[in-house]
Amino acid sequence: MAQFGDKKKKETILEFTKFVDKVVRVKFLGGREVSGILKGFDPLINLVLDDATEYLRDSEDLSRLSDETRSLGLIVCRGPTVIALCPADSMEQIANPFLQQETS
């Protein structure tokens, strides 16, 4: 039985090794999104992305992404701000099933 204060190494359930050297898309707290080549990560989910691109928000509706992007190059993403990571080649946007259809 584990005692309070026992120092055991916590294992992560996340398996990012299969995404290394592949293009991934990352979503952050606050709504920012970037994509880039995953070069490395640590147990705190800090990520290193190369050739990163940020997807800018629509100036009229900040909850939506626009078609505009900006190049960021090599970046470090702080783990506590990452909320989602997915491979870019198997991601597709779908309609929100929870929005009610407008009736005329």
Which residue has 């979503």 as its token pair?
27
Q: For the whole model, what pTM was predicted?
A: 0.71
Share of the chain above pLDDT 70, in %: 79
Is residue 80 a contact partner of residue 66, using CB atoms and an 8 Å limit? no
Structure tokens at 100: 């009610």
User: In CATH, what number does 17-88 get?
Assistant: 2.30.30.100
What are 52-90's pLDDT values in tens digits?
Answer: 999 998 878 777 788 889 999 999 999 999 999 988 877
Beta partners for 25? 35, 86
